[in-house]
Amino acid sequence: MKKAFIKLDRDYTISRIDPRIYGSFIEHLGRAVYGGIYEPGHPCADEQGFRTDVLKLVKDLGVPVVRYPGGNFVSGFNWEDSVGKVSERPKRLDLAWFTTETNEVGLHEFYDWTKKANSEVMYAVNLGTRGPENARDVVEYANHPSGTRLSDMRIANGKKDPMGIKLWCLGNEMDGSWQIGHKTAKEYARTATEAAKLMKWVDPSIELVVCGSSGYTMRTFGDWEYEVLSECYDHVDYVSLHRYYNNKRGDTPSFLAKSMELEEFIRTVSALCDAVKGKKHTKKQLNLSFDEWNVWYHSAEQDKAVWKTDKWGRGLPLIEDVYNFEDALLVGLMLITFIRNADRVKIACLAQLVNVIAPIMTRSGGKSWAQTIYFPFAEASRWGRGVSLRAIIDSPLYDSTEFTDVPVTDAAAVLNDDGGVTVFCVNRDMTEPCELKIDLRSFGDLRFDFHSVLHNDDIHAVNTELAPDTVKPTPGSAAEIDDGFASVTLPALSWNVIRFSK
């Protein structure tokens, strides 16, 4: 059996964790909205047509913020189409996903849904086909109390009180050639800066996320962040990062090591922000919004077939990845990485929430169920609140075809507000369990609460409507505490949550 050691100390802190790192994302894409959160006529639909079975799963997941309405969709979207009487809203071709958008669910409806889901809206404005004036207008519509044309329009549309949306995205992936209204860094920086100024003049209390490069492997990466931030640093609060991983090669040891690249990505973008901070001689620190992240690759061939047979349909079954057990392990490792970088990562949105590369799946007219990736996210969201601790990890290492010196055991730890300690860890070893020893001496008298394990002997095991419990957490081994040291056994290839309380 392999052995690993984690030293924790209540004074070795990184940062208080912003709960918004457990955010998610609903885009007008595929069946995320129509057939996902919204399905009038379903046995579980409420008076607004929202599925209450889906709402329960979302509430149990604990997402404090949901990014909306896109994504690529937003770069061709007119926000005015989504307000007013539903019967009078226009139907539009969505050129991002080659579907027809009916606008049945719009700003008011989604705002209502987030309240039912115990969440908040993170609203993205269109800086692809539109500009600063339209961005200003939607802030005024949503957040200004009354007495202007747009705020009074909101009131006439049934919402007397301001929505108070506090978090706004300045477009989406604007350096991507696939993006409607794709821009150079210079073009985007000027547009985003002017939009930011107008939006904050309307409501100084809002926070703004400016687009970073669409990905770590983009040709524009690095230069884009530096040029954009050099222009708009003083007017924004966060820069966005997007990252998806896949295991197309079937190389599990490398796949589970990809969180190491994620860590480097975070450090690199933080350094770019700090380079601009130094250049400007400002004390303001810009933090990170990881507003798209997940595993994404299973549905590529299926999507081609959908578009071939039903282009321009409504609510098409697009990007419906069926996640397996090893996907859940990487999602857990990515969450560990976010917790460990809580001093810079303040927002993160699992993309997406329902049906579209999602932890929650539904069948139209049928049941809803949790995918494998649901469980590490739900446990991190529940127990990963408080202060991130600087865990000093001594673990055996391995090399893969893509990475060297990969820790067999990776972990993050949280000092919870009730004085307890929660350790999240993954054993990457394909065959051997690991005996983990944890130094808890500085926390006083702690008792072992529970050890939750996510494991399956089949790395390709999935959850389905007919077999929704194939992969789910089970009780692990009891931890023995002796003179402030706790010992627990981590099964081979497992996500683990180990909780100690006062």
Q: What are phi and psi of 183, to 5 degrees?
A: -130, 155
Question: Which residues touch 208 (CB under 8 Å, ≥6 apart)?
Answer: 168, 169, 170, 196, 199, 200, 235, 236, 237, 238
Q: What are phi and psi of 351, to 5 degrees?
A: -105, 115
What whole-number distance in Å separates Cα of residue 303 and Cα of residue 315?
13
- Helix-strand-coil split of the chain, %, nearest 5: 30, 25, 45
What whole-number distance in Å separates Cα of residue 211 and Cα of residue 21?
17
Closest-CA residue to 99 (of 78, 123, 72)? 72
Q: How many other β-carbons are positioned within 10 Å of the β-carbon of residue 95?
A: 13
For 203-324, where are the alpha helices, taking DSSP H only? Answer: 223-232, 252-255, 258-280, 300-310
Which burial class, exposed, middle or buried, applies to 161 when counting CB atoms under 10 A from its CB (0-12, 13-18, 19+)? exposed
Per-residue burial over 358-370, b if 16 or more Cβ lie within 10 Å, else e, is bbbbbeeeeebbb
What whole-number distance in Å separates Cα of residue 273 and Cα of residue 341?
15
Closest-CA residue to 463 (of 323, 302, 297, 317)? 323
Tokens at 400, concatenated: 């893969």
292 is an active site residue: yes
Closest-CA residue to 437 (of 1, 11, 7)? 7
What whole-number distance in Å separates Cα of residue 319 and Cα of residue 9?
43
What whole-number distance in Å separates Cα of residue 70 and Cα of residue 29?
8
Q: What are phi and psi of 294, to 5 degrees?
A: 170, -175
**Looking at 292, 320, 326, 379, which residue is catalytic?**
292
CB 177 within 8 A of CB 183: no
What whole-number distance in Å separates Cα of residue 168 and Cα of residue 121?
9
- C-alpha pair distances (Å), 294 with each of 373, 406, 433: 9, 20, 26
326 is an active site residue: no
What region, left, alpha or beta, does residue 415 occupy, with left being phi > 0 and alpha being psi -120 to 50 degrees?
A: beta
Give the distance from CA 151 to its chain's centroid.
31
**Looking at 173, 194, 231, 326, which residue is catalytic?**
173
- As annotated, the active-site residues are 173, 292
